[in-house]
Amino acid sequence: MVLNKNGKYNNKNYHFNKKNALEVIKSILPYNAIPVPEDRFYENMQLLGYSDQDKANLVALTTILTPQVVGEELFSRLSDNLPSANAIHTPEAYKALPVRNMGFILNQQKNSYDLLVDKIFGQDTEKKHDWKGDFRNVFNPDSTKNIKLLTDFPGIRQKTANLMVLNISYYELFTEEFKVLNSNFKDIRLPVDLHTCQISMRTGIVSSDTNSFHGDMLRDYLRNNLDLTIREMRSTLDYCMISKGRLTNMIHRAFYNLGSLTCSPKKCDCSIVDKCTFVYRLDHKISKYHVDSKKQMKFF
């Protein structure tokens, strides 16, 4: 694993097939319309009459809890136990929400969640930020590096930061004085998760001369190349009217839904089955890849 001067991973053994990427993305885009676990959570906040401020706060905060957690279980528990709109305005209420409903989140995730709550309400010990109880105040309307700004905070990595912004934007929560932010995330990038990696490997979007992939290196490599693919898509008539943030979120949701709902070792009835490179054994499909404890994805 080698880092270049820009802090990016280099691996000359990896190859990106842009033609495949364009074909696969266009084929799976309809999957973005399938509801994701966060949608029910947002709908329940709507029904309870939550303000845009509280909805934006919770959309951002709960994103910290999603890594290594089954999203459907997480947001189902949260949705069923949301307090009333009048009872969610304090930092104590925010911090109590995951404690009351979940025993399966990591301590590190909960600590990052609580730290962000303190920052939102100006209760962190450093007191460097005054967000006035509204997460959206972290963003600078005059900056083109708002994603980078988020990753400076503990517990918020590249993928989490992008998901925060994409979800707030998707649910149209950049309202009132924050409307200017809708077109101001120039550094927004595709969140690359296991589903994106899995589908990219299976469909030949990415390949390796050594038939192995390092997890972090693969995610970085895919993120860079898929971002260029999105840029090319937006230069065409079919996608030029869709904002970068919206198209990025559509593609992310499509990869997530295909990977979590359809793509599995035991069945394959998706729209890109003709590109699938899985190996059949009897009536089951066996993945060519696995992830070992050293974050390496290899053939077996």
- The residue segments making up the domain with residue 44 are 29-197+213-263
Residue 13 lies in a domain: no
d(CA 219, CA 114): 28
Average pLDDT over residues 197-222: 85
**Residue 241: per-residue pLDDT:** 92
**Residue 16: per-residue pLDDT:** 94
**Residue 230: per-residue pLDDT:** 95
Average pLDDT over residues 31-58: 92
When mean pLDDT is compared across 34-43, 120-129, 242-251, the lowest value belongs to 120-129
Residue 232 lies in a domain: yes
**Residue 13: per-residue pLDDT:** 83
Question: Is the pLDDT reported for residue 7 higher than 80?
Answer: no
User: Taking the mean position of all CA atoms in its chain, how far away is CA 133?
Assistant: 24
Residue 283 lies in a domain: no
Segment 45-82, tens digit of pLDDT? 999 999 999 999 999 999 988 876 667 788 888 888 88
Average pLDDT over residues 103-118: 83
d(CA 276, CA 259): 13
Residue 18 lies in a domain: no
Residue 127 lies in a domain: yes
Residue 162 lies in a domain: yes
Residue 276 lies in a domain: no
d(CA 230, CA 25): 9
Which residues have CB under 8 Å from 62's CB, separation 6+? 38, 41, 74, 75, 78
**Residue 54: per-residue pLDDT:** 94
* Domains held by the chain: number: 1
Contact 195, 255 (CB under 8 A): yes
d(CA 230, CA 246): 11
Q: Is 208 left (phi over 0), alpha (psi -120 to 50) or beta?
A: beta
Segment 259-269, tens digit of pLDDT? 888 876 555 66
Confidence of residue 126 (pLDDT cuts 50, 70, 90): low
DSSP 225-249: HHHHHHHHHTTSTTTTTS-HHHHHH
Contact 190, 162 (CB under 8 A): yes
Residue 50 lies in a domain: yes
